[in-house]
């Protein structure tokens, strides 16, 4: 079939496409250089035996075999990472509660909003140091309060205990990210058309039902965003764990990300670290897909 | 035509620039990587200026990295093929880099400059011998010792430091109570190993190929350490803290003994105004065992100017600069002439510091926890979490030792 469109139109289309390509090209080049290329290189590296001073040698799936069959630290780190992720809905629920409060006619709501949000812009390293001192066995504020209140007689070893270390780190993470979740959810709440609530009130719908059938469904995009941020946060909580516990005691607070760092830069096993990174990446993709499905697909967007 | 020439020139210019060496690799230029020495900037610049004056045309680029940053930085430079020529490395990492082929074998250089070699303390120099070859020379040296809080000892009715492992635990038990604990130890880089060694426990066989620590005696020692930790005789921070936390705890005055290397003294003294020769004693642990944690200087095998780098190493560890470092940072340098002068000076001016630092040259034949392994960090990471699980009561000593043996054996097989 011949193109019957006039020449001037084809030239115009070509120019338009060229313009679009020119605008897209810098971003695509950067995306390729900083995302696609490292991902590809990392995948290739995961099938090699390689260290900075030895030439790479193809070893097939050996790194994966070691990880899945022979490395119990990997399984512990994976379990801890999943617990970290699994706890993020709790933080989102708490943030939703605060968002509902500050979205109401509460006196001084703006002040509370600011206070809750204040922790988010803090550097994660600073958050780690603050919480390490709060948990401190000797002079820590939490132990002080608990002892003064008579709840305990001996100080609790929050970060030294195999059982309490991970929950303690997760609480510190909650504290930092709570404000961010709250702002996202608050924005979502404020975008819900008020006439829906008014109509429901007129129809005599009780508050609980209004929350379940109006607020929650219309908050789906915001909740989806919070979930994705929560998942990402669990994968990137390196600095918090590094500062507070360095993965210890034992490997009680080891996350995949800290294990990757230790394998790469502590043990000079970049090949094995690459294999761990591939697994972490796949897990991230799967979890994001699950979160998307749980939010009703299409990133939780509202229809109509 | 002109446009074509312009295009050709544009393409060729970067291509022509590619084979040019990076600045750090230009003739007569070397880079020196130090670890946590940024506070000595003005002195380091003077030392470098002294070297440049003695070697006209030479240039030295100084790079300093903080604790956890240095290994990562050095490895990226190795991958890029531009490793710093001279590198300051702490602990067994030097042996690991040597094992991986990153460092230049300095044996021949040392043999050629026998007077230079003779001026290094032989035992500290031997800390960096890997497969019979010397890969680093001492820069500033230290090993562990036992600090004892004389006030806590007096309160517990004790008047001398412990002479056996049982006494360490027994004394610690007597000093515990309320906020007070009896013993703290640093734990990074095998610094806790003297507690095992004094009980006759070896990590590996002499050929470094087989784990030998999974014994009934080791289980007994771990059991004692775990019980003492549970009772509060040993402060739990011993097994979870790194540098700041244990030293800070001892500086509060509530702890009876601190097992740490010599630099800890100056740190805790800065934090605890009560610390002086009357209140804190320094001694060896039973048997004189100690784990070294020294800094050494090595030359990267990838250095483009190894001779200049060697000249720089000799300059930095030579009498003039080493003396300046010893005075400025209150350290021992492994340079025998300088260290003798430093100790003599301290004996007169600061007897408490002298008591601490003189231990660093006693029992230097009893240094332990310093295995000649090319994969030390992997073995360490395989052993430590299990040891930690046992002393913190997570696992029984037997189970922890069995798991540690399995993991360490796996790392040794991989080597």
- The one-character DSSP state at A299 is G
**Both B315 and B361 in a single domain?**
yes
Please count the residues of chain A.
304
Dump the DSSP string for B326-384.
HHHHT-B-SBHHHHHHHHHHHHHH-HHHHHHHHGGGSSGGGB-S----TTHHHHHHHHH
**Both A203 and A158 in a single domain?**
yes
Report whether A77 contacts A273 (CB < 8 A).
no
**pLDDT tens for residues A226-244?**
888 888 887 778 889 999 9
**Both A99 and A133 in a single domain?**
yes
pLDDT of residue A298: 67
**Which of B190, B331, B210 has the alpha carbon at shortest distance from B267?**
B331
CB contact under 8 A, B236 and A268: no
Backbone angles phi, psi at B137, to 5 degrees: -120, 155
Q: How many structural domains is chain A composed of?
A: 2
Calpha distance A196→A185 (Å, rounded): 18
State the ipTM, two decimals: 0.70
With a CB cutoff of 8 Å and minimum separation 6, the contacts of B178 are none
Q: Which of B72, B179, B392 sits opposite A249 (nearest CB)?
A: B392
**Both A18 and A73 in a single domain?**
no
**Both A82 and A209 in a single domain?**
yes
**Both B258 and B114 in a single domain?**
no
Tokens (6 digits) for A221: 């995009």
Going along chain A, which residue ranges are E strands? 48-51, 54-58
With a cut of 50, say whether residue A260 has pLDDT above it.
Answer: yes
Q: Which of A54, A250, A268 sits opposite B388 (nearest CB)?
A: A250
pLDDT of residue B342: 95
Q: Is residue B5 part of a domain?
A: no
**Both A153 and A203 in a single domain?**
yes
**Both B240 and B186 in a single domain?**
yes
**Which of B194, B339, B201, B343 has the alpha carbon at shortest distance from B261?**
B194
Q: Helix, strand or coil for residue A169? A: helix
Q: How many structural domains is chain B composed of?
A: 2
Q: Which of A157, A159, A267 sits opposite B377 (nearest CB)?
A: A267
With a CB cutoff of 8 Å and minimum separation 6, the contacts of B146 are B161, B162, B257, B258, B259, B282, B283, B284, B285
**Both A108 and A12 in a single domain?**
no
**pLDDT tens for residues B189-201?**
899 999 999 999 9
**pLDDT tens for residues A147-185?**
889 898 888 889 888 889 999 999 999 998 888 898 889
Domain boundaries, position B235: 144-291+375-414
**Both B244 and B324 in a single domain?**
no
Long-range contacts of A256-264 (CB under 8 A, 24+ apart): A256/A77, A256/A78, A256/A81, A256/A280, A256/A283, A257/A81, A258/A77, A259/A73, A259/A74, A259/A77, A262/B381
CB contact under 8 A, A160 and B239: yes
**Both A136 and A281 in a single domain?**
yes
Q: What element of type H or E holds B255?
A: strand B255-261
**Both A25 and A74 in a single domain?**
no
The pLDDT of A116-126, averaged and rounded, is 83
Residues of B in contact with A272 (CB under 8 A): none
With a cut of 70, say whether residue A221 has pLDDT above it.
Answer: yes
With a cut of 60, say whether residue A263 has pLDDT above it.
Answer: yes
Tokens (6 digits) for B238: 């011993």
Q: Is residue B305 part of a domain?
A: yes
Q: Please indicate whether residue B347 or residue A191 has the higher confidence score (pLDDT).
A: B347
Low-confidence ranges of chain B (pLDDT < 70): 1-27
- The one-character DSSP state at B288 is G
Calpha distance A50→B95 (Å, rounded): 19
Report whether B383 contacts B193 (CB < 8 A).
no
**Which of B354, B373, B359, B369 has the alpha carbon at shortest distance from B411?**
B373
**Both B186 and B308 in a single domain?**
no
**Both A40 and A70 in a single domain?**
no
Domain boundaries, position A197: 64-300
**Both B165 and B242 in a single domain?**
yes
CB contact under 8 A, A160 and B79: no
**Both A100 and A32 in a single domain?**
no
For chain A, the residues whose C-beta falls within 8 A of a C-beta of chain B are 51-54, 70, 73, 137-138, 157, 159-160, 162, 245-246, 248-251, 262, 265-269
CATH number of the domain at B165, please.
3.40.190.10
Q: Is residue B204 part of a domain?
A: yes
Calpha distance B62→B313 (Å, rounded): 13
**Which of A198, A206, A226 has the alpha carbon at shortest distance from A99?**
A226
Q: Is residue B2 part of a domain?
A: no
Please, which pLDDT band fits residue A304 given cuts at 50, 70 and 90? Answer: very low
Calpha distance B148→A19 (Å, rounded): 76
Q: Helix, strand or coil for residue B19? A: coil
* pLDDT averaged over every residue in chain A: 87
**Both B25 and B128 in a single domain?**
yes
CB contact under 8 A, A162 and B239: no
Alpha-helical segments (H) within A191-303: 194-202, 207-210, 216-218, 220-235, 238-244, 256-261, 270-294
Calpha distance B173→A301 (Å, rounded): 64
**Both A202 and A276 in a single domain?**
yes
Dump the DSSP string for B103-138.
B---HHHHHHTHHHHHHB-HHHHGGGEETTEE-EEE
Calpha distance B198→B286 (Å, rounded): 7
Residue B59 burial (10 A CB sphere; 0-12, 13-18, 19+): middle
With a CB cutoff of 8 Å and minimum separation 6, the contacts of A166 are A80, A83, A84, A252, A253
Calpha distance A80→A168 (Å, rounded): 13
């Amino acid at each position: 079939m011949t193109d019957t469109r006039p020449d001037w139109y084809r030239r115009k289309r070509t120019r338009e496409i060229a313009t679009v390509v020119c605008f897209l090209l810098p971003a695509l080049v950067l995306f390729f250089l900083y995302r696609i290329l490292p991902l590809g290189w990392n995948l290739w590296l995961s099938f090699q035996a390689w260290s900075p001073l030895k030439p790479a040698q193809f070893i097939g799936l050996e790194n994966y075999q070691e990880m899945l069959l022979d490395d119990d630290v990997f399984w512990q780190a994976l379990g801890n990472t999943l617990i970290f992720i699994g706890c993020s809905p709790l933080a989102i629920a708490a943030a939703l509660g605060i968002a509902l409060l500050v979205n109401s006619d509460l006196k001084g709501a703006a002040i509370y909003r600011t206070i809750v949000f204040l922790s988010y812009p803090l550097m994660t390293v600073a958050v780690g140091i603050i919480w390490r001192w709060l948990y401190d066995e000797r002079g820590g504020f939490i132990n002080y309060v608990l002892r003064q209140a008579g709840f305990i007689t001996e100080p609790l070893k929050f970060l030294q205990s195999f059982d309490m270390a991970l929950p303690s780190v997760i609480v510190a993470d909650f504290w930092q990210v709570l404000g961010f979740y709250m702002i996202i959810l608050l924005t979502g709440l404020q975008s819900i058309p008020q006439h829906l609530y008014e109509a429901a009130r007129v129809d005599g719908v009780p508050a609980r039902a209004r929350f379940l059938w109006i607020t929650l469904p219309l908050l789906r995009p915001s909740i989806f965003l919070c979930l994705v941020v929560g998942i990402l946060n669990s994968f990137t909580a390196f600095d918090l764990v590094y500062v507070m516990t360095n993965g210890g005691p034992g490997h009680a607070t080891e996350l995949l990300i800290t294990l990757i760092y230790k394998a790469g830069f502590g043990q000079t096993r970049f090949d094995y670290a690459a294999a761990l990174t591939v697994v972490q990446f796949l897990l991230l993709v799967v979890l994001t897909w699950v979160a998307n499905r749980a939010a009703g697909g299409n990133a939780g967007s509202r229809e109509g | 035509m002109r446009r074509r020439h312009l295009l050709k020139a544009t393409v060729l210019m970067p291509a022509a620039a590619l084979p040019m060496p990076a600045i750090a690799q230009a003739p007569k230029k070397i880079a020196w990587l130090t670890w946590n020495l940024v506070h000595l900037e003005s002195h380091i610049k003077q030392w470098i200026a002294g070297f440049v004056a003695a070697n006209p045309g030479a240039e030295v680029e100084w790079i300093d990295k903080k604790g956890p940053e240095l290994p990562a930085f050095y490895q990226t430079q190795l991958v890029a093929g531009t490793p710093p020529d001279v590198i300051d490395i702490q602990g067994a990492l030097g042996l690991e880099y040597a094992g991986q082929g990153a460092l230049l074998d300095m044996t021949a250089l040392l043999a050629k400059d026998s007077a230079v070699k003779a001026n290094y303390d032989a035992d500290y120099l031997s800390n960096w011998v890997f497969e019979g070859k010397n890969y680093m020379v001492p820069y500033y040296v230290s090993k562990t010792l036992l600090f004892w809080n004389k006030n806590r000892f007096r309160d517990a009715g004790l008047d001398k430091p412990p002479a056996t492992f049982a006494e360490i635990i027994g004394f610690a038990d007597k000093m515990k109570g309320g906020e007070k604990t009896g013993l703290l130890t640093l734990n990074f880089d095998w610094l806790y190993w003297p507690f095992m060694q004094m009980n006759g426990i070896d990590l590996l066989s002499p050929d470094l190929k087989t784990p030998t620590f999974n014994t009934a005696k080791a289980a007994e020692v771990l059991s004692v350490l775990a019980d003492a930790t549970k009772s509060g005789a040993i402060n739990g921070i011993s097994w979870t803290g790194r540098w700041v936390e244990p030293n800070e705890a001892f500086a509060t005055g509530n702890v009876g003994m601190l097992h740490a290397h010599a630099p800890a003294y100056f740190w805790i003294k800065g934090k605890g105004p009560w610390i002086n020769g009357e209140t804190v004693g320094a001694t060896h642990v039973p048997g004189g065992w100690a784990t070294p944690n020294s800094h050494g200087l090595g030359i990267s095998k990838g250095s483009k100017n190894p001779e200049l780098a060697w000249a720089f190493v000799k300059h930095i560890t030579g009498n003039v600069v080493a003396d300046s470092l010893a005075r400025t940072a209150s350290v021992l340098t492994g340079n025998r002439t300088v260290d003798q002068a430093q100790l003599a000076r301290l004996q007169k001016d600061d007897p408490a510091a002298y008591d601490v630092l003189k231990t660093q040259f006693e029992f230097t034949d009893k240094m332990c926890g310093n295995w000649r392994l090319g994969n030390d960090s992997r073995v360490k990471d395989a052993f430590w979490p299990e040891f930690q699980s046992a002393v913190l009561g997570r696992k029984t000593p037997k189970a922890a030792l069995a798991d540690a043996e399995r993991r360490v054996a796996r790392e040794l097989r991989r080597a």
